[in-house]
Amino acid sequence: MPENSLLSVAPSPARSVEIVAVPHDDPRAAGLREVLDLDLDARYRGAEPEPPAVSAARADALRVHPDQLVATLLAVTADGEALGHVMLRRLGDEWELKRLVVAPEARGAGVGRRLVQATIDLARTGGAARVILQTGAAQPESLALYRSFGFTPIPVYEPYVATMPTSLCFTLPL
């Protein structure tokens, strides 16, 4: 078979992955959130340092308080290796998809898609009318994924209005 044929460049079959609910403080979940924080910092860091008060306000807007948390989900291999993470939280009457991250070595293998679908299914089962999310322009992979599920743009919502007014926010009616 020629080296440049479609079959020779296709990705190898993905490892078997299961979506599991874990406690928020699961070390694998915490580790993947750290990966996400580093990635977001690299994508969004400005040339000038941000005032500490602005950083603190943004961190508070992004924080998921325990009373809001519906679920923390991981995509794990048969040996327990975590390849992806997502959370679902309630913001008042809304259900919000939060902190989606796929480990760099698992990107492009459908892990993010499985996590988003599991989040949608969980919200639907829980009686949500829609799922909302907040992201940014420096995350084109995420934007493409969300749009492929049918998420459509909405105005920036609280708690992001003051601290991240250029956010891109989306909704998916259920």
Q: What is the CATH number of domain 15-173?
A: 3.40.630.30
| pLDDT(83) > 60 | yes
R_g of the chain computed on alpha carbons: 17
Average pLDDT (78-82) is 94
**pLDDT tens readout for residues 92-138:** 889 999 999 999 999 999 999 999 999 999 999 999 999 999 999 99
| pLDDT(51) > 70 | yes
Query: In this prediction, what percent of the chain has a pLDDT beyond 90?
Result: 71
The maximal CA–CA distance of the chain, rounded, in angstroms, is: 60
- Residues 103 and 101: their CA atoms lie apart, in Å, by 7
| pLDDT(22) > 60 | yes
| pLDDT(77) > 50 | yes
- What SS3 class is residue 154? strand
Of the given ranges (9-13, 24-28, 52-56, 61-65), which has the lowest mean pLDDT? Answer: 9-13
Q: Which residue has the higher pLDDT, 9 or 75?
A: 75
Band (pLDDT 50/70/90 cuts) for residue 15 is low
Residue 113: what residue type? R
pLDDT value for 167: 94
Average pLDDT (39-55) is 80
pLDDT value for 113: 97
C-alpha dist (Å) from residue 31 to 75, 103, 126, 156, 172? 13, 10, 27, 28, 28
